[in-house]
Structure 1
Amino acid sequence: MKKNKIINYICSGIACLLAATSCDVEPTFYSQVVPETFYTSQDAVWERFNRPFTHWRWYVGHNEPRWMLQELGTDEFCLPTRGSDWYNGAMYQKFHHHDYTEDMAFVETGWTNFAMGVALSWDALEDLENIDFDALGFEEGTKESMLNQQKALVASFYLDGLDLFGGVPLYETTQSDVKGRSTDQETFDFVENLLNEAIPNLPVKEELGAMENGSLHRATGAALLARLYFNAKPYIGKEMYTEAAAICQDIIDGKYGKYALDTDWTNIFGFDNETCPEIIWSVPSENAKLETDGMYWSYMVPYNYKNYLGGLEGSGSNNGIGLIPSLDPTGKKYPYKLGGAYSKFNDKDIRKQPYVYEGSGKYRGMFIVGELINPLNPEWVCTGSREYNGQPLVVRDQVAYFAKVGSADYPTLESLLSTIATAEESSCVRVTKRSPRPNQDEKTRKFDPDVPIIRLAEIYYMLAECKMRSGDKEGAARLINTVRQRYFENGNDPDPVTVANLDKYRMLDEWLQEFLGEGRRRTDLVRWDAYVTENWWDHQATNNTNLNRFPIHYSLIGANNLLEQNPGY
């Protein structure tokens, strides 16, 4: 334990305590600060264990760069320039067109956030290794569980680094000298070895529906390993679908703990989802405590959407991100195989409704679309703030300057442009999936939903794709339809997956519908060689495979001259 670091912890802890109470706090001074003198209670040890998870929680469930790197620039989401809003030096337009440069802030933060997680996890592990758990009365196996959860957490951070950037510097201790980048294969092997070492020593979820609190269970480690193998082809040029399938089947069979698909999709993302049997790993959140909204609420919803929720306090928004449009300005559907997420949902899909909070933690619908007048409380209206100031806002599955129709520049609908640079405040359907909001009458329920990070449906879909790639389309369809049926009344799916209709694009559509907005779309497109080779809306394929990975920010190379830039930048 480094002395300066521990003094900082002590000082920050005293400051928090003084802020919360009026009691006098007399600090205890030590001539030498080491684990034996500082970690003298179980609470102190748990606090040390949880510090890297605090960073992880912020990184995957609250901070925007990781989500934006995975969702903007794909066929799911865009952040269009809305009149005078959201130009931001054309950064979001560049993302949409894959015009990535080494000076983009999100690219820098995407690297520093996973790297900081690695450092915090190793730092915690080094401290925990030197604590006498028996003397503090911990249950047998607690130390092994804590240490291996840190190793698996490191693996999860490095898996992100590999996915976004390719090979990265690999550290096993905080005491190492600064390193350059390892190869893709070395990074892959490092993650694989960490997970194989940790998984047998992680705690098992023995009770179906037991409360999730962000800890790493054995099924979480196994799911991370399955993800690694599932995407091995773009990572290291080697297919490992057989290995991924075996792990997925074991998870479904309960080898790694007890999980089950939920029959009600709102339970997965809803206000009491910490006991949802489908969730394998989630970011905990609770009103007035560890609050998170899954990042995208403030970016996603219209400016005055809080009024649709009865004036819900603390629900301001920036009216930015929306779905790639399905329709051109005249209402004609775009011909591209990718994009237009809203139109991909069958009209009988119960998710394809405007979001309405019904009370007592119940809600329906997943989209912000159409005229924003609350059907349960018609006096609750989301009005416009820009082109439609004071009028009920009508959110469209289109992008264009509709408010300017009839002007000299845009005399007719046919004359409207539809590009990432020509949006207005009503443009693009929005998604309210992670962290659904209550109304003002139940404002204390805000932030109660946890943010799912890994859930059993992903295991079903990974196994389905593996079966599809091996030639077993029937088995793949059966797995996907097992999940799909919960979205239709009495399980009557009007458009199930079949052997006849299951191809690359149907598989990508299924991933899109099930995991819309969950921060993974880029990875799925890259695995199917579709990220840089396909067109959607006004995004044109570059066919530049170098863009499957992001550049290394110039400031990182300036700080560590051992780092090498990715090819093509």
Structure 2
Amino acid sequence: MKKELKHLIVIMLLSLGFVSCHDDLDQSPIDPDSFTEEDVFANATEAKGALAKLYASLALTGQQGPSGQADIADIDEGFSQYSRMLFNLNELTTDHAVVGWGDAGLPDLHGQYWSGSNDFSEAMYYRLAQEVSFCNSFIGNAAALTDAEVSNFIAEARFLRAFAYYNLMDLFGSVPLVTEVTTDLPSQASRTELFNFVESELLAIQGELKPGRSNEYGRVDEVAAWALLSKLYLNAEVWTGSARYTDCVTYSNNVINSGYSINMNDANGNGTAYDELFLADNDTNGAQDEFIFALNFDGLRSQTYGGTTFLVHAAIGGSMDATEFGVNGGWAGIRTTKNLVEKFAANIDDLNAALGTQSDWGLVGDGTPNGWDGPDTEMFQTGSNQFGLYVDLTDGFMKFRFNEDWGNNYGDDDPQDGALENGGGNIPVTAGTYYITLDLNALTYTITPFTADKRGMFYSDGQNLEIESIPPFENGYAVTKFKNVDSDGFQGSDAAGDFVDSDLPLIRLAEIYLNYAEATVRGGGGDLGLATMKINELRERATGGAFANISSGDITLDFILDERSKELYWEGQRRTDLIRYDYFTTDAYLWPFKGNEPAGTSVSSFRNLFPLPTSIITVNPNLSQNEGY
């Protein structure tokens, strides 16, 4: 599936009541080497190729490659890829991202002032409607085949259709519910009816999908159905008015016990196994054991300007070196706000308290918190004549001193050698958070940059934390989460550096851990001790140790929301989460340029939904526009 997605001429499209956006889909193929509908469903082998198209429709954008023969008309083909639009609608509209590009309709998203004719919400509707149509056609045609494995194919197609409706329900609310190819104009289904349909489909196919971990990489199994049910039930109160947290706990628990596992393989040896999830070899480096449903990309065989190619290139700008990310250049577009960055700030007091007993040895200097006049910033004894301290420094100098006594101090005459001299020279330091050690037995010291939570992957050199205006790119920290290099540091398969190999998880086990915890706190009857253990599993991976572990008393709803932000940022989840917490449109939580105000402001609650495309409403009188548009 990852390496070969069979080229198919797509059968006639009818997506949720609108005729195909491009006329060639309504014609017979003229290429004699192309498959006709009869060929595609001649047997199970050919049907598997058609199934590949259903997966590819979420990853790719057309029939030719990165551009040409696009599936969706009237929008740049690269813009139209599913996960790129999911980023635009579910991340760019939140505290997780801003974009400096001025394409019509794009700045509106972060500013939360989009209109009913926004190109990006419209293209997302078309993309998901197309996926429903492809799935409907596949299900109808494959039903005529008697091969045993075709029942698995049909169950996968039903999952993908349910996934498309899950997205449509989340983003647009009430949309037509169509389960077979028809020329009739469909009626609009309520959000509750859509919810019930998605639920019933997932419950029906769970036993028809292959058992967990037994399908080919990139194809869904029964655990994917459980995971999507977990997500569905977590949001049920928003979408239907009825809480289903007990069901969320049940299906989250099914996933937790399914055989999928959190990746703990630090393949590149950088102190955390989190970044492996987003590298070019994440289909083989251990990350694949965590991926329940992922979009597969290959820099040579499945090229697109969306997907992870977008997430890598668009996040590079300013003084960043694109070669470190395995690509040939940056697009200087997307970065993040201080709200996300500050969620990763370490609690230095807690870290220091865990080191040991406070001592009389400390730091002094204009680079330290109390300057040259002191008092010293005291270190903690970690062993015999050994001391440590987590500290925020500024640009300047420092020395080690005992009990505020200049008669007993150490500096370094050669700051390159890490050796101390009694009364030695001032030690230069630069701004940042550090872990500093002092060893009086060996008369050595270390000053090590410290990031407690290594999930926070940002580039700050030349970037401003505060966003005073959008653009330029330098306003806002850059995000370095996605890379087109493998665990050994080698570039992905496209030697030109244009297209990226990294797969993109849409559902992974870590999210289900957090679903379980939230549903438990919201009254779903789960085990808070288990929730705590699973969150600590994620935090230990993030920090490389148990020093940041929490107790069950620390788990509140806001704590879980922050954990979701730190674990899942830029993976297409944030808007949905903020709506569930009633933070997306209200003034209960603000971020830079929310509501198009530099400091952030509330917006009307109707923006919890995107508008139905104006073109759809024009051709189908059965549809009503969402309130406010």
Q: So what's the TM-score if we normalise by structure 1?
A: 0.74
- The yes-or-no answer on 1:367 pairing with 2:462 is no
**Paired residue for 2:99, among 61, 66, 79?**
79
In structure 2, do the counterparts of structure 1 residues 442 and 547 end up closer, same or farther at CA, with 3 Å as the change threshold?
closer
Q: CA offset at residue 433 of structure 1? A: 2.4
Deviation string 1:412-443 (CA, Å, 9 cap, x unpaired) is xxxxxx24x4x433221122323444699745
Q: CA offset at residue 51 of structure 1? A: 1.5
- The yes-or-no answer on 1:281 pairing with 2:293 is yes
Q: CA offset at residue 12 of structure 1? A: 4.8
Q: Is the 8 A contact 2:82 2:124 kept in 1?
A: no
Return the letter of the residue paired with 1:57: A
Secondary structure of 2:505's match?
Answer: strand
**How far apart are the structure 2 equivalents of 1:12 and 1:519?**
38
More strand by share: 2
Q: CA offset at residue 3 of structure 1? A: 9.1
Mark the structure with the bigger radius of gyration.
2
**How far apart are the structure 1 equivalents of 2:29 and 2:212?**
34
Q: CA offset at residue 518 of structure 1? A: 0.2
**How far apart are the structure 1 equivalents of 2:336 and 2:209?**
38
Q: Is the 8 A contact 2:281 2:502 kept in 1?
A: yes
- The yes-or-no answer on 1:272 pairing with 2:249 is no
- The yes-or-no answer on 1:235 pairing with 2:235 is no
Q: Is the 8 A contact 2:584 2:608 kept in 1?
A: yes
- The yes-or-no answer on 1:425 pairing with 2:473 is yes
Counterpart in 2 of 1:532? Answer: 585
In structure 2, do the counterparts of structure 1 residues 281 and 321 end up closer, same or farther at CA, with 3 Å as the change threshold?
same
In structure 2, do the counterparts of structure 1 residues 425 and 78 end up closer, same or farther at CA, with 3 Å as the change threshold?
closer
Return the letter of the residue paired with 1:492: A
Q: CA offset at residue 480 of structure 1? A: 1.1
Q: CA offset at residue 231 of structure 1? A: 0.4
Q: Is the 8 A contact 2:226 2:254 kept in 1?
A: no
Counterpart in 1 of 2:186? Answer: 179
More helix by share: 1
In structure 2, do the counterparts of structure 1 residues 262 and 98 end up closer, same or farther at CA, with 3 Å as the change threshold?
same
**How far apart are the structure 1 equivalents of 2:530 and 2:41?**
52
Counterpart in 1 of 2:65? Answer: none
Return the letter of the residue paired with 2:604: N
Return the letter of the residue paired with 1:493: F
In structure 2, do the counterparts of structure 1 residues 142 and 506 end up closer, same or farther at CA, with 3 Å as the change threshold?
same
Q: CA offset at residue 346 of structure 1? A: 4.2
- The yes-or-no answer on 1:564 pairing with 2:627 is no
Q: CA offset at residue 452 of structure 1? A: 1.2
For structure 2, which runs of at least 5 residues remain unmatched after alignment?
1-9, 14-23, 62-79, 265-272, 349-431, 434-453, 595-599
**Paired residue for 2:605, among 541, 545, 548?**
545
- The yes-or-no answer on 1:96 pairing with 2:105 is no
Q: CA offset at residue 259 of structure 1? A: 0.8
**How far apart are the structure 1 equivalents of 2:162 and 2:568?**
22
**Paired residue for 2:493, among 444, 453, 463?**
444
Counterpart in 2 of 1:155? Answer: 162
**How far apart are the structure 1 equivalents of 2:478 and 2:114?**
25
Q: Is the 8 A contact 1:144 1:201 kept in 2?
A: yes
Secondary structure of 2:314's match?
Answer: helix
**How far apart are the structure 2 equivalents of 1:57 and 1:525?**
26
Alignment of 1:322-361 (within 5 A): 322-324=335-337, 326=338, 340-347=339-346
Counterpart in 2 of 1:387? Answer: none
Q: CA offset at residue 227 of structure 1? A: 1.0
**How far apart are the structure 1 equivalents of 2:528 and 2:298?**
42
Q: Is the 8 A contact 1:51 1:124 kept in 2?
A: no
Q: Is the 8 A contact 1:396 1:429 kept in 2?
A: yes
Return the letter of the residue paired with 2:96: E
Q: CA offset at residue 144 of structure 1? A: 0.8
Q: Is the 8 A contact 2:316 2:322 kept in 1?
A: no
**How far apart are the structure 2 equivalents of 1:441 and 1:226?**
37
Deviation string 1:436-470 (CA, Å, 9 cap, x unpaired) is 44699745366232111111111111001111112
**Paired residue for 1:51, among 40, 50, 53?**
53
Deviation string 1:492-550 (CA, Å, 9 cap, x unpaired) is 333x3434443332221100000011011000001111111122234234363221111
Alignment of 1:85-234 (within 5 A): 86-88=101-103, 91-133=105-147, 141-206=148-213, 212=217, 214-234=218-238
Q: CA offset at residue 175 of structure 1? A: 2.1
In structure 2, do the counterparts of structure 1 residues 12 and 150 end up closer, same or farther at CA, with 3 Å as the change threshold?
farther
Return the letter of the residue paired with 1:182: A
Q: So what's the TM-score if we normalise by structure 2?
A: 0.67
Counterpart in 2 of 1:386? Answer: none
Q: Is the 8 A contact 2:590 2:602 kept in 1?
A: no
Counterpart in 1 of 2:263? Answer: 262
Counterpart in 2 of 1:70? Answer: 90
- The yes-or-no answer on 1:320 pairing with 2:374 is no
**How far apart are the structure 2 equivalents of 1:93 and 1:110?**
17
In structure 2, do the counterparts of structure 1 residues 261 and 121 end up closer, same or farther at CA, with 3 Å as the change threshold?
same
In structure 2, do the counterparts of structure 1 residues 126 and 13 end up closer, same or farther at CA, with 3 Å as the change threshold?
farther
In structure 2, do the counterparts of structure 1 residues 261 and 34 end up closer, same or farther at CA, with 3 Å as the change threshold?
closer
Counterpart in 2 of 1:493? Answer: 547
Counterpart in 2 of 1:464? Answer: 517
Secondary structure of 2:207's match?
Answer: helix
In structure 2, do the counterparts of structure 1 residues 526 and 458 end up closer, same or farther at CA, with 3 Å as the change threshold?
same
In structure 2, do the counterparts of structure 1 residues 2 and 164 end up closer, same or farther at CA, with 3 Å as the change threshold?
closer
Secondary structure of 1:452's match?
Answer: strand
Q: Is the 8 A contact 1:260 1:277 kept in 2?
A: yes
Deviation string 1:168-190 (CA, Å, 9 cap, x unpaired) is 10011002511131111111111
Q: CA offset at residue 368 of structure 1? A: 4.4
Q: Is the 8 A contact 1:200 1:218 kept in 2?
A: yes
Q: Is the 8 A contact 1:180 1:563 kept in 2?
A: yes
- The yes-or-no answer on 1:296 pairing with 2:306 is no
Q: How many residues align?
A: 461
Secondary structure of 2:289's match?
Answer: coil
